[in-house]
Amino acid sequence: MNTIPLIFDERNIQRTVLGGTSAFALSSDSCIGSPAETRKTAAEQNTFSLSRRTSENPFAVVLLNRGGNHYCSQNLETLYSCGFKEIVVVENSGKSYGLEELSQRFPFAKFIIPLEEVNCGDMINMGIAEIGSPFALVIWDNIKITESILPSSLAEKIKAADFLCTAPLLESDSVRSLPVCIKPQISKNIFSAQPEAVRFNSGSDSVKTLYPFDFIGIYNREKFMRLGGFDYTLHIPYWQNLDFALRAWLWGEQIRINRFFRLGYEGEAPLEDSSADYAQLTFFLKNCAPVVRLDYAYIPLVRFFDFCRRYPESPFKALRLFSAARSWVHTNCFRFKTDIGRLTKNWEKEIEADV
């Protein structure tokens, strides 16, 4: 059983990094990447003109490869034209082909190729670790990428609001709005996350959501790293995303959908797999079991008996995981601003903040 991570980028993933050598790209000396990285310099000759930038954008973009060859040349050209300060492409495995050629043609982009198995959270953690910009747009390569993906007026509003994550309104390939506003719910002492259609209050540009659907959004790099990033020990994307986002809310951060931030999928949107497994048990201990008293949080010992009944293996293994979670909560006890009960109860009562 893996120990619950305490710090950002705790997992030392073996990787190869290609490119990122143009003048505006982040230098290797300022990266937070793992010392286990293998870095290769792209050839200086390329067929893409660096004079095609139509604007300057202080944000970075982290482009995640879902498994196909979606982004290719056109998406990289478009992202460059958008003026993003840094472009980082994160592969989902080491079985990636044609990247040497792409890194030579697009020397401004940095390609991260993991040399071991990674999950969605690992990919985003690696991408965020490689940038120096204060904000990063995290998207998958099956998102429609246009030159209006992030207008400067919206970027300025997002910077000023300073939320942990600003999530977009999302549409399927058939231009159908997706129910990406996620609300917490507790019924019969069981916590769940319920997706709903997005509705904005009059006069408000944003609305709360429990987590950004499909991990997509603009993340505040400093806040992301202070929260520890995604828990790499949770391998199911749904629980990994929900764990990070709920931790953020419990620790006083905000995730909001902006009415002017719209993206669409090329093809159908992915389905969320909320199947129960060990990830759900770890999620429960980290986020649902803690209780806040005065200015600190703790997991009451009495919670062990309910947890032990749910745990599919021996009581000894249950106790080991429960103890690890109690230790994790104790280490972070003063970072909790609320607990799951109060958060859910007050969700609808809190006044919506304007962006």
Of the listed ranges 46-55, 271-280, 293-302, 337-346, the least confidently predicted one is 46-55
Residue 110 · residue 19 · CB < 8 Å: yes
Q: What is the structure's pLDDT at 51?
A: 53
In the chain, what is the straight-line distance between the N-terminal and C-terminal CA atoms, in Å? 42
**Average pLDDT, integer, range 317-328:** 95
- In the block, tokens 């959004």 appear at 217
**Average pLDDT, integer, range 79-101:** 86
Of the listed ranges 87-91, 93-97, 281-285, the least confidently predicted one is 93-97
> Predicted confidence band at 12 (pLDDT cuts at 50, 70, 90)?
confident
Q: What is the structure's pLDDT at 288?
A: 95
> Predicted confidence band at 52 (pLDDT cuts at 50, 70, 90)?
low
Of the listed ranges 25-34, 149-158, 294-303, 320-329, the least confidently predicted one is 25-34
* CA proximity to 323, closest of 296, 303, 309: 303
**Average pLDDT, integer, range 321-329:** 95
**Structure-token pair, residue 322:** 């429960």
Of the listed ranges 22-26, 185-189, 258-262, the least confidently predicted one is 22-26
Q: What is the structure's pLDDT at 27?
A: 35
- Count CB neighbours of 350 within 10 A: 10
pLDDT digits (tens, 9 = 90+) for 211-234: 999 999 999 999 999 999 999 999
Rounded to two decimals, the pTM is: 0.89
pLDDT for residue 88 is more than 50: yes
User: Residues 297-303: contacts with CB within 8 Å, 24+ apart?
Assistant: 297/329, 297/332, 297/333, 297/336, 297/339, 298/326, 298/329, 298/330, 298/333, 299/325, 299/326, 299/329
* Whole-number percent of the chain with pLDDT over 90: 63
pLDDT for residue 41 is more than 60: no
> Predicted confidence band at 243 (pLDDT cuts at 50, 70, 90)?
very high
- Count CB neighbours of 333 within 10 A: 16
- Phi, psi (5° rounding) for residue 175? 60, 35
